[in-house]
Amino acid sequence: MACLLRMLEISPDSHIRFDGVDVATLPRQAVRVAVAVIPQHPFFLRMTNIRDNLVPWRGERQQQQQHSDDKILSVLSRLKMRDAVERMGGLDSPLDFDWLSQG
């Protein structure tokens, strides 16, 4: 991954092709902007519910309320996560880390 994102140099005779393009021929910043990296280490707000982990609250309840349940559930549907959240008890259920994959 470090080579793909050009964080490590690759030797001149090596090639890393991504969708047929040699990454070494592209500017570092162009590669880093174009590639999404999702770490395997999850980040959760402890002692909160599912909703607060999806739409973090920053001290003003009004800011959180701007995100309607319909909008949150729509996003979860597109991510194929709505059924899992409903099995866990819905948006206001306490987040149980054992119910979720760590990957």
Question: For residue 79, is it within any domain?
Answer: yes
Assess whether 54 and 91 both reside in one domain.
yes
Q: Are residues 55 and 78 in the same domain?
A: yes
Pair 54, 80 in one domain: yes
The answer to whether residue 69 is domain-embedded is yes
DSSP 4: T
58 and 79 in one domain? Answer: yes
pTM check: above 0.85: no
In-domain check, residue 86: yes
| DSSP per position, 24-87 | GGS-HHHHHHH-----SS----TT-BHHHHHS---S-HHHHHTS-HHHHHHHHHHTT-HHHHHH
Number of structural domains (the chain) is 2
Radius of gyration of the chain (CA): 19
Q: Per-residue pLDDT tens for 16-25?
A: 888 888 888 8
Which domain does 11 fall in, by range? 1-37
| 13-60 confidence digits (pLDDT tens) | 888 888 888 888 888 888 888 887 776 766 677 778 888 888 866 555
**Residues in contact with 25: Cβ distance below 8 Å, sequence separation at least 6, in sequence order:** none
60 in a structural domain: yes
Angle, vertex CA 94, rays to CA 96 and CA 101, nearest 5: 25
Q: Would residue 58 count as lying in a domain? A: yes
